[in-house]
Amino acid sequence: MFDPSPAPPPGCPAHGLGPDGLRRLYGPEADADPIALYERLRSEHGAVAPVLLPGDREAWLVLGHRENLEVSRTPSLFSRDSRLWRDMQEGKVPPTHPLAPLTMWQPLCVFAEGEEHERLRRAVTESLARFEARGIRRYVTRFAHQLIDEFEPKGRADLVEQFADQLPLRVITQLFGMPEHHGPRLIEAAKDMIRGSETAVASNDYITEALQDLVDRKRASPGHDVASKLIEHPARLTNDEVREHLRVVLVSANEPTVNLIANTLRLVLTDQRFRATLAGGHMTLPDALEQVLWDEPPMTTNIGRWATGDAQLAGKTIKAGDMLLLGLAAGNADPQIRPDKSTPMHGNRSHLAFSGGPHECPGQDLGRAIVDTGIDTLLTRIPDLRLAVPEEHLKWETALMSRRLVALPVEFAARRTNTTGRQGPGVPSVELPPLQPQEPASVPMPPVAPPPVHTSWWTRLKRKLRGW
């Protein structure tokens, strides 16, 4: 039968190909199945492939595991300084371009190299290190219980919208010393900016304004929080540097952590082998997270690196000023290091989920603590979680740098909870004090009243699996 609708002309985004035949990393083809697109590019070009970004800006996508490490570990050849980008120099990426929030040079560690990078990154890592992991995990536990309280009596929930989407930023805003009411708007703005959408610039502006307000308040009245520690750091950061590094932590610790929570919970609920490995004691939850970081890294690509001069990479000639994207998901699936994707990678942390080299993600330890503690709290409170829809009905939303699960609907036996987030007769509510920095003279945090004794979720899961 004749189809009256005309075929899209060559170069139209619906084709997935640009005028010169380069594949687009945006549009319908990329959105439908980015992983399949990466493999198609690998078969066509090898470990490094020419691609098009929004606005048909040309770039190289690094697909090989070894090549990803080579690029990330060689800043003398492939720098994070976006001012080297030829398209930026030629005015082809104006401030209103969707890529601008991710590529416009700013005075922060992710765009710096050498001594300046070390100075700025040290301020970030040392300010985060001032807070005890135990204290951070207590806040994760508290906020996780608050979120669970909202849906536990109903016997159903969407674990993306009602849990994974909410938990990381609640913890991060607490660490920053921000009012909790900033959370919902910041969540949406951070997601939109990573998406590289048409409103990414406006979302970036909102994040900037909220963080600038925080910096102004902490300059006037410092406290025990990351913002104040950045201001007080011996690196003597300017207001702009403090604000922008808070934004780096917010973005790098939030979106990947949301995706990692959702991806891990989906595997627990849908993958029999994964559940059996956990329940059989062959894998701990931290080990399980590492497996997910191999199979479904929370960020699929990382923007970007810029060639400092002409260079050769996997047989391709990279010209000075070219942009490169680290293909984190593609590198993890490189058949040179994983010929059999079904083989577990127990204890192997050589995945690319957090990139590598001097610009390796500074928020990864914070993210791991949030995911590990948050999921453990959820599965301890509700060990009988089950998927409420067929697995094939689950949907993903794809962006340039990530692939995020849209929803994870679950069912379970409804439970009566009280205001402390515990079942049955309550435990007196205890308000946690502000997080205390790790200083020799600091006063230890007071203990939190213990919850009623629960059988561990590992034991409950084992028992449940025996009946499946």
Q: Choose between 104 and 271: higher pLDDT.
A: 104
Q: Which range has the top average pLDDT, 19-23, 56-60, 98-102, 173-177?
A: 56-60
Residue 329 pLDDT: 97
pLDDT higher than threshold 60 for residue 15? no
Size (the chain), residues: 468
Number of Cβ atoms within 10 Å of the Cβ of 426: 14
Averaged over 396-417, what is the pLDDT?
90
pLDDT higher than threshold 70 for residue 2? no
Q: Which residues of 405-421 are buried (b: 16+ CB within 10 A; e: fewer)?
A: bebbebebeebebeebb
pTM: 0.82
Amino acid at 101: P
**What residues contact residue 33 under an 8 Å CB cut-off, 6+ apart?**
none
Averaged over 125-144, what is the pLDDT?
89
Going across the sheet that includes 323-327, the strands are: 23-24, 48-53, 57-62, 323-327, 301-307, 78-79
Averaged over 265-284, what is the pLDDT?
78
Which range is least confidently modeled, 83-97, 241-255, 308-322, 387-401? 241-255
Averaged over 171-180, what is the pLDDT?
86
* Cα gap 62→335, rounded to integer Å: 14
* Cα gap 38→24, rounded to integer Å: 11
155-158: long-range pairs with CB below 8 Å, 24+: 155/411, 155/412, 155/413, 155/414, 156/388, 156/409, 156/410, 156/411, 156/412, 157/409, 157/410, 158/407, 158/408, 158/409, 158/410
Strand pairing report for 301-307 and 23-24 = unpaired
Averaged over 77-101, what is the pLDDT?
94
Averaged over 241-264, what is the pLDDT?
89
CB 296 within 8 A of CB 26: no
Place of tokens 């402390």: 420
For 295-339, write each residue's pLDDT tens digit: 999 999 999 999 999 999 999 999 999 999 999 999 999 999 999
Burial classification of residue 118, based on how many CB atoms lie within 10 Å of its CB (0-12 exposed, 13-18 middle, 19 or more buried):
middle
Q: Choose between 406 and 101: higher pLDDT.
A: 406
Where does the pLDDT of residue 195 fall: very low under 50, low under 70, confident under 90, or very high at 90 and above? low
Place of tokens 């979720």: 457
Residue 12 pLDDT: 52
CB 425 within 8 A of CB 163: no
Q: Choose between 161 and 441: higher pLDDT.
A: 161
Residue 137 pLDDT: 92
CA dihedral 198, 200, 202, 207 (to 10 degrees): 170
* Cα gap 265→159, rounded to integer Å: 8
Residue 185 pLDDT: 79
* β-pair partners for 388: none
For 340-371, write each residue's pLDDT tens digit: 988 878 778 899 999 999 999 887 888 899 99
Where does the pLDDT of residue 183 fall: very low under 50, low under 70, confident under 90, or very high at 90 and above? low
Place of tokens 């994207």: 325
Give the residue extent of every domain in the chain: 13-420+440-466
* β-pair partners for 49: 61
Averaged over 50-74, what is the pLDDT?
97
Residue 353 pLDDT: 94
| pLDDT, mean over the chain | 84
Where does the pLDDT of residue 217 fall: very low under 50, low under 70, confident under 90, or very high at 90 and above? very high
* Cα gap 325→148, rounded to integer Å: 38
Cα separations (Å) of 89 from 94, 149, 304?
Answer: 10, 52, 16
Burial classification of residue 341, based on how many CB atoms lie within 10 Å of its CB (0-12 exposed, 13-18 middle, 19 or more buried):
exposed
**What residues contact residue 330 under an 8 Å CB cut-off, 6+ apart?**
35, 38, 39, 41, 42, 61, 62, 63, 64, 300
Residue 45 pLDDT: 97
Residue 463 pLDDT: 45
pLDDT higher than threshold 90 for residue 450? no
Averaged over 170-179, what is the pLDDT?
88
Place of tokens 């994040």: 207
Q: Which range has the top average pLDDT, 42-56, 92-106, 180-194?
A: 42-56
Q: How far is CA 285 from the centre of its chain?
A: 18
DSSP 8-class letter at 402:
-
Q: Which CATH class is domain 13-420+440-466?
A: mainly alpha
Positive or negative: CA dihedral 332, 335, 338, 343: positive
Give the CA radius of gyration of the chain.
23
Q: Choose between 130 and 141: higher pLDDT.
A: 141
